[in-house]
Amino acid sequence: MSVVVSLLHSLRLFVRSRVALHLEIVALRHQLAVVNRSRRQRLRLTSADRMLWAWLSQQWNGWRAALHVVEPATVLTWHRRGFRLFWTWKSRHRTGRPGVPADVRALIREMSTMNPLWGAPRIHGELQNLGISVSQSTIAKYMRRPRRPPSQTWRTFLTNHVSQIMAADLFVVPTVTFRLLFVLVILEHDRRQIVHVAVTEHPTAAWTAQQLRNAFSENDAPRYLLHDRDSIFADVATTIAG
């Protein structure tokens, strides 16, 4: 049996490429050297050892089978750490986009302040006439914006105008005879009361406009009417204004 194992092992070595064989020899000899130089129970690995195994893990597919001193996951961690260090070293000289001089930034702010109607393209053209090369995005970044009062939120709008807001919506009700009836409901937001209800089988924009005339008089028509984008609300603005 031992003879057969030896023959199979010899055949395996013969078929394997000479490069892989030499790499395995290097890996085994290196691990033996690490064990010999480590007098204590815990192995002492240097940066050169880690670099060697990180390189072997990329050049040789069978490195896991020949590794005995550490776990394969540890070698992969070394490789990732070396990759990060490499890219840190490679990008050390990059300083990014050159900064805009302070006098140019001050000039952009002054031009935008003295000419509030000028936009970034106009200021860009004026700076090019002066021989100053700055992109429009940079000019827009350093332009002085006029202060505008903040717009009110939707909740603030509803609170301020709740007495002038009504909502209209349409929903479908099936009957016992399997007919579909469309119900128009108009709700007053201030008191949460139903102002008007109408039912029809064929809702149209003209029918909806007539229901709004029936629901509101000329004096109590709401200033704001909330509704969806259904086509039956096409003449809502004209009906309320009229």
Q: What is the pLDDT of residues 76-107, one digit of tens each?
A: 787 788 778 777 777 766 566 677 888 888 99
- Where residue 3 falls among pLDDT bands split at 50, 70, 90? very low
Residues 118 and 172 occupy one common structural domain? no
Closest CA to 136 of 122, 154, 116: 122
Residues 170 and 207 occupy one common structural domain? yes
Sheet of strand 224-226: strand arrangement: 193-200, 180-188, 165-174, 224-226
Task: Give tens-digit pLDDT for 201-215.
Answer: 988 888 888 888 888
CA–CA distance, 226 with 241 (Å, rounded to integer): 15
Beta bridge partners of 224: 165
In 16-71, which residue ranges form alpha helices assigned H by DSSP? 18-37, 47-59, 63-66
Residues 158 and 127 occupy one common structural domain? no
Looking at residue 94, what is its pLDDT? Answer: 59
C-alpha atoms less than 13 angstroms from C-alpha of 146 in its C-beta half-sphere:
11
Residues 9 and 43 occupy one common structural domain? yes
Q: Helix, strand or coil for residue 104?
A: helix
Residues 30 and 9 occupy one common structural domain? yes
Residues 86 and 107 occupy one common structural domain? no
Residue 148 lies in a domain: no
Residues 81 and 116 occupy one common structural domain? no
Residues 78 and 121 occupy one common structural domain? no
> What range does the domain containing 177 cover?
154-241
Residues 14 and 53 occupy one common structural domain? yes
Residue 48 lies in a domain: yes
Q: How many domains does the chain have?
A: 3
Distances (CA, A) of 14 to 9, 61, 62: 9, 17, 16
Residue 65 lies in a domain: yes
Residues 136 and 170 occupy one common structural domain? no
Which of 60 and 141 is assigned the larger pLDDT? 141
Residue 196 lies in a domain: yes
